[in-house]
Amino acid sequence: MTTPATERRGLLAGVSRVSITPPVGIRMLGYTVQAGCSESIERELTATALVLSDGQSKVVLIACDIVFIQSPHVDRMRERIGQKLGIPSTSVMINCSHTHLGAMLPGWKVESGEQQQIQERYVAVLEESLTGLAAMANANLQPARIGAGRGSVAIGINRREKLPAGGIMIGENPEGAVDREVSVIRVDDLQGQTLATVYAVGCHTVVLGPKTTALSPDFVGPAREIIESATNAPSLFLQGAAGNVNPICGIGTGGSEQFDDSERLGAMLAGETLKTWAAIRTHNRSGPRRVVQSVAAISVWDYEPLPSDCVEFLGVASRRITLPMAPLPDRDAAEKQLAERRQARDAAVARGDSQGALNVVQRLYEWAALVAKTVAAGEPVTRELDVWAMRINDIGIVAVNGEAFAELSLQVKQKSPLANTIFLGYSNGCLGYFPTPEAFPEGGMEVIDSVRNYMLPSGFTPEWGPTIVNTALELLEELSQGRSE
């Protein structure tokens, strides 16, 4: 459907929050080497929804404290929310903070009966919670105004460190790309009081490392508390292009220092968000300058109210593209690989290796079994890229279903037709890492090892990155011209 831009309309906005803290005892997802399950709660995990409407179109943005929600779970949740609000499922965007200390969902790994039941119960409650959350935010709709701004914060560093002998490890690469932009959206009532603050940046939420046994939103938790204390309103953290970006303190290795780092990085992010938020005026602006005479001539101006009809355009556009994955090995190579992985697993069990080490060898064995099964089936391997975009006035949001490299975000922002463009990963699912074409010859975890952890029969190809950038720009161009789904 084509919706041409017409006269300005009023904005309605509603926000709501629910706890999505899972039961203690659920396995956490993020660190394969993590030996046990959750034992406590460092901070509550939350989901926050913002509903925007101009009376004709309606969009739902949901921010979740979870590593990701994969298909088919996320597809089902978006469909349920759409049905509840009477809108297409494509008008719903679910972004995950990617905290590595959130719940594991069914389907990620083979589980025992009890753990499987815990995860199945949790994902069912999560679906109901997000559906109810969106309905609450929709019920809270009230007249509003919106504005956007951009700051910059150095909480992340490119993690693809090049080794002297060749190869890549997860470390620090100060020369590597990082999108340090903090994108801020301020949604106020008609009196200028904040209803919701949206802030986005790309940085892995791994300050609290695998030795942490507590469920936690990581540095997003302290950032949220500071922002909401200052604004007296809920906030939504949206995770950006963090695929090759780690926090500047690295992955936590245990001890009190990592919790101190989490508080510090959260404070840095909150400070820049608030500085940007404070500069956004939604309800008034400076009027004409005039000069008054006192002891000296003084230049002053009065504030003028801004019109309540502030929406020039609100709409979404999305595209799902089926793309080929890298070629599979031949049958002999796949069977040999499976035998080697089986032998490595059995040897680790016989040695009595730690549970973390056993987790790794078991995961690699299951992956090799998947590869061999896929090769035997003789069918090409494809996956579905999901690119979602939204525009309200000069604000554009692009979201993809994977761990995008920072370079992809920077390219989209540089070429976007909209003045304020936000690029998100970990949205509406998560297939795996989306590297740049240049990263493939270098290798590294994001290119090679992650394929095994994500249980992909084969890896992505260099064409995926440019396809993401080009598709994102095409959708933003459509929306900038006043066309939406």
**pLDDT tens profile 409-428:** 999 999 999 999 999 999 99
So what's the pLDDT on residue 256? 86
In a 3-state reduction of DSSP, which class is residue 268?
helix
Interval 421-443 mean pLDDT: 98
In a domain? residue 289 = no
Burial-class residue 253 by CB neighbours within 10 Å (0-12, 13-18, 19+).
exposed
In a domain? residue 188 = yes
Per the listing, tokens 């500069």 go with 279
So what's the pLDDT on residue 5? 46
In a domain? residue 353 = yes
Average pLDDT of every residue of the chain:
96
User: Encoding tokens for residue 420?
Assistant: 């304020």
Taking residue 1's Cβ as centre, other Cβ atoms within 10 Å add up to: 7
Burial-class residue 110 by CB neighbours within 10 Å (0-12, 13-18, 19+).
exposed
In a domain? residue 33 = yes
* Residue of 50, 294, 292, 54 lying closest to 194 (CA atoms): 50
Q: What is the pLDDT of residues 257-313, one digit of tens each?
A: 899 999 999 999 999 999 999 999 999 999 999 999 889 999 999 999 999 999 999
| Residue 233 belongs to domain spanning | 11-281+313-317
Tell me phi and psi for residue 79, to 5 degrees: -65, -45
Tell me phi and psi for residue 135, to 5 degrees: -65, -40
Give me the residues paired with residue 384 across strands. Answer: 322
Task: Name the pairing type of β-strands 395-400 and 40-41.
Answer: unpaired
Q: Do 17 and 155 fall within a single domain?
A: yes
Task: Give the C-alpha separation, 411 to 421, whole Å.
Answer: 11
Q: How many CA atoms lie within 13 A of 187 on its CB side?
A: 28
* Residue of 365, 368, 374, 432 lying closest to 404 (CA atoms): 432
**Residue 3 — pLDDT band, cuts 50, 70, 90?**
very low
In a domain? residue 394 = no
Task: Give the C-alpha separation, 92 to 89, whole Å.
Answer: 5
In sequence order, which ranges of 108-255 are alpha helices (DSSP H)? 113-139, 220-231
Q: What is the pLDDT of residues 91-130, one digit of tens each?
A: 999 999 999 999 999 999 888 889 999 999 999 999 999 9
In a domain? residue 459 = no
In a domain? residue 16 = yes
The answer to whether residues 66 and 45 touch, using CB atoms and an 8 Å cutoff, is yes
Task: Give the C-alpha separation, 315 to 131, whole Å.
Answer: 21
Q: What is the pLDDT of residues 154-203, one digit of tens each?
A: 999 999 999 999 999 999 999 999 999 999 999 999 999 999 999 999 99
Task: Give the C-alpha separation, 305 to 49, whole Å.
Answer: 28
Q: Do 210 and 358 fall within a single domain?
A: no
Q: Do 370 and 274 fall within a single domain?
A: no
The answer to whether residues 358 and 349 touch, using CB atoms and an 8 Å cutoff, is yes
Q: How many CA atoms lie within 13 A of 452 on its CB side?
A: 19
The answer to whether residues 356 and 298 touch, using CB atoms and an 8 Å cutoff, is no
Interval 390-403 mean pLDDT: 98
Q: Do 271 and 347 fall within a single domain?
A: no
Tell me phi and psi for residue 145, to 5 degrees: -130, 165
Beta strands in 233-309 (DSSP E): 235-239, 245-247, 284-293, 297-305
Q: What is the pLDDT of residues 50-66, one digit of tens each?
A: 999 999 999 999 999 99
Q: Do 161 and 277 fall within a single domain?
A: yes
pLDDT reading at 316 higher than 90:
yes
pLDDT reading at 480 higher than 50:
yes
Residue 440 DSSP label = H
Q: Do 199 and 270 fall within a single domain?
A: yes
pLDDT reading at 1 higher than 90:
no
Task: Give the C-alpha separation, 443 to 427, whole Å.
Answer: 25
Total length of the chain: 485
Q: Do 233 and 350 fall within a single domain?
A: no
Q: Do 97 and 153 fall within a single domain?
A: yes
pLDDT reading at 82 higher than 90:
yes
Interval 321-338 mean pLDDT: 96
Q: Do 175 and 274 fall within a single domain?
A: yes
In a 3-state reduction of DSSP, which class is residue 291?
strand
In percent, the amount of the chain with pLDDT more than 90 equals: 94
In percent, the amount of the chain with pLDDT more than 70 equals: 99
**Residue 341 — pLDDT band, cuts 50, 70, 90?**
very high
Per the listing, tokens 């989306």 go with 434
The whole-angstrom distance between residue 307's C-alpha and the CA centroid of its chain comes to 33
The answer to whether residues 134 and 51 touch, using CB atoms and an 8 Å cutoff, is yes
Task: Name the pairing type of β-strands 40-41 and 214-215.
Answer: parallel
Q: Do 226 and 334 fall within a single domain?
A: no
The answer to whether residues 62 and 97 touch, using CB atoms and an 8 Å cutoff, is no
Q: Do 80 and 219 fall within a single domain?
A: yes
Q: Do 118 and 223 fall within a single domain?
A: yes
Q: How far is CA 331 from CA 120, 328, 364, 377, 449, in A?
A: 35, 9, 18, 10, 21
Cis peptide before 217 (omega within 30 of 0): no
User: Encoding tokens for residue 480?
Assistant: 């900038």
* Lowest model confidence (mean pLDDT) among 110-114, 209-213, 238-242: 110-114
So what's the pLDDT on residue 2? 42
So what's the pLDDT on residue 6? 58
Count of domains in the chain?
2
The answer to whether residues 480 and 345 touch, using CB atoms and an 8 Å cutoff, is no
Burial-class residue 175 by CB neighbours within 10 Å (0-12, 13-18, 19+).
exposed
In a domain? residue 287 = no
